[in-house]
Amino acid sequence: MLNLRATPIDTGLPSPGEMTYLRPIATLLAQRSMPAPIEQSERMARQQANMKDHHDQSSRHVDLPPLYTGQRVRILDKTWTVVEKCQEPRSYMVQKPNGTRVRRNSSHLRDMTVLRRSASFAD
């Protein structure tokens, strides 16, 4: 009878005896052993590597052409001008029409000459 009361009802629930006495009860039944922490960390590292591989497969990486100083670029339907290339990769200082200078990544900038050419082809 003790062994029956010491058997858990479900994987996430305690046994009826533990619920009655509010503590684990001693029995001769075999206990579930917890996996070693090393096994868990190795499994987690494999999972993280797998997630990274799946992310890298689905993410887009587009090599955009470099921009030059004085080039007209578009960002959010506004026309700005490239002032200089920053030391950081793919970063440019651009100037707004009101004179404000801000740094932007090349992924946010679109060349205006490409847009004009495509518009002329559409006509």
Pairing of strands 110-111, 78-85: unpaired
Instruction: Identify the pLDDT of residue 116.
Output: 54
| Domain boundaries defined on the chain | 1-31, 72-122
pLDDT per residue as tens digits for the range 15-36: 888 888 888 888 887 766 666 6
* CATH class name, domain 72-122: mainly beta
**To 5 degrees, how large is the angle CA 115–CA 87–CA 76?**
30
pLDDT per residue as tens digits for the range 107-118: 878 777 765 555
Report the run of H or E that residue 98 belongs to, with start and end: none
Query: Which of 122, 118, 106, 123 is CA-nearest to residue 71?
Result: 106
Instruction: Identify the pLDDT of residue 81.
Output: 85
- Give the number of other CB atoms < 10 A from CB of residue 73: 21
CA distance 116 to 86: 26
Instruction: Identify the pLDDT of residue 48.
Output: 95
pLDDT per residue as tens digits for the range 67-100: 888 888 777 667 888 889 999 888 999 888 888 8
Q: How much of the chain is in helix, strand and coil states, percent to nearest 5?
A: 40, 20, 40
Query: Which of 85, 78, 62 is CA-nearest to residue 112?
Result: 78
First to last CA, the chain: 88
pLDDT band (50, 70, 90) for residue 50: very high
Higher pLDDT among residues 12 and 122, named by residue: 12
- Three-class secondary structure of residue 49 per DSSP: helix
